[in-house]
Amino acid sequence: MKRRIFALCIALIVMTGCQTAPAPTTAPTSPPTTTVPILPTNTAMDTVTFTPTVSTPTATSVPPTATLQPTATFTPAPTPTPFVVINAKTGQEESLSTENENMRRIIEKHLAELYRNTRFEGLAVNYGDPKYLVFLYFYSGVGSQQPVHLKRVGDGRHEVGFSGTILYVWNNLLRTSVLIPRTDESSRAIFDIKQNVVEYQDSSARVINRQPLPNYEALVPRCMMGGQEGYVYDPVRLKVLRLCVRISGIVKKLNGVWTDGDFTFDVALDPPFKNYINDQNLKVWNGNIHVEIVCYTAGGGYAYRECKDFPESLRVEPPRIGQHIWLEGQWVEDWGHTGWTELHPLFRWEPYK
């Protein structure tokens, strides 16, 4: 009986062409083409240079024995360097204060959103008051990852090292761009903060041309964000026109606390600042600008999440009716209503002098 069973098995194997269970296929020596997406980094706020993050496929997405090789070569991020402040009078480097460090993070976050996958290098200039700085950013072109190689070469002098580099000057949302052309690839462009010029040198360091730059000192904001901008209820409804403005006027009406916990009042602006209102202010607020102090109270319920951890140090007390004051705040249009302009939030106010 055993011999018959054995003979029958042999016959079946011959009839099927000796096909047994399929053997494991050998893994290919190279993986299939894999697209490596370029994603903007979320940690760029802590560094001076913006670089992309390379998303690497996991080992399970290709055969176990394959070697992972991206389809493109990416420049690794350089070692982070401190963001420097240059004194425009002395050319010496200074440290960045905590307040201006917060401002830099806000600026660079906005830059990263506006210019995705663009590599920036920057510095700030102190034109006499360390509280108010002008931030300068350099890049090689929108979407370019090529480094600018911004390098200090003397007191107040920095080499800008890439053909076609653009100088980007940022003051809150007021900005201006200056193209730094390069006719000779062997030449150097030296940005001189004290002289306020770009100086072009040939390969032997001989000056061949100078380009005057805008008066950056005139761009000094005289306005500092206060931190209350992080506690605005439903900020999507507000169209930000300027991150921080300094305007003056006379308090005309105190409206009290709204259901989101904000204290509001209206100000008749002084003549130099009449352009900060629009036709909706004329219709709804009698030509005044509407001002909101955020989280004055904990709110009536729906603003509790925004105001429950509001720091006491950021609380602003309202002025009196008839008081002539300076105000600093975020200038917005309120499209949760009809688009009138507001200072929302108000960062601070002081008596007019």
Q: Is the dihedral of CA 292, 294, 296, 299 positive or negative?
A: positive
Of 52-66, 135-149, 152-166, least confident by mean pLDDT is 52-66
- The secondary structure of 40-69 as a DSSP string is E-S-GGGSSS--EEE-PPPGGGS-TTPPP-
Block residue for tokens 């360390």: 130
Distance between CA atoms of residues 170 and 176, nearest Å: 7
Model pLDDT, residue 119: 84
Please report the domains of the chain, with CATH numbers, ordered by start residue. Answer: 85-219 (no CATH), 228-351 (2.40.50)
Per-residue pLDDT tens for 312-324?
889 999 999 999 9
**Looking at residues 241-251, what average pLDDT do you find?**
91
Please, which pLDDT band fits residue 104 given cuts at 50, 70 and 90? confident
Q: What pLDDT does residue 82 have?
A: 64
Is 80 exceeded by the pLDDT of residue 343? yes
The SS3 assignment for 57 reads coil
Higher pLDDT, 199 or 10: 199
pTM over 0.85: no
Out of 126-140, 154-168, 223-237, 306-320, least confident range: 154-168
| Average pLDDT of the residues in 148-165 | 80
pLDDT tops 90 at residue 16:
no
Calpha distance 160→162 (Å, rounded):
6
pLDDT tens track for 175-219: 666 666 655 656 678 888 888 888 888 878 888 888 888 777 776
Question: pLDDT at position 100, please?
Answer: 80
Q: What is the pLDDT of residues 131-150, one digit of tens each?
A: 778 888 888 778 888 887 88
Q: What rounded mean pLDDT belongs to the chain?
A: 74
Q: pLDDT tens across 45-54, in order?
A: 222 333 333 3
pLDDT of residue 174 exceeding 80, the answer is no
Write the DSSP symbol of residue 186: T
**Helix (H) or strand (E) run with residue 11 in it:** helix 2-15
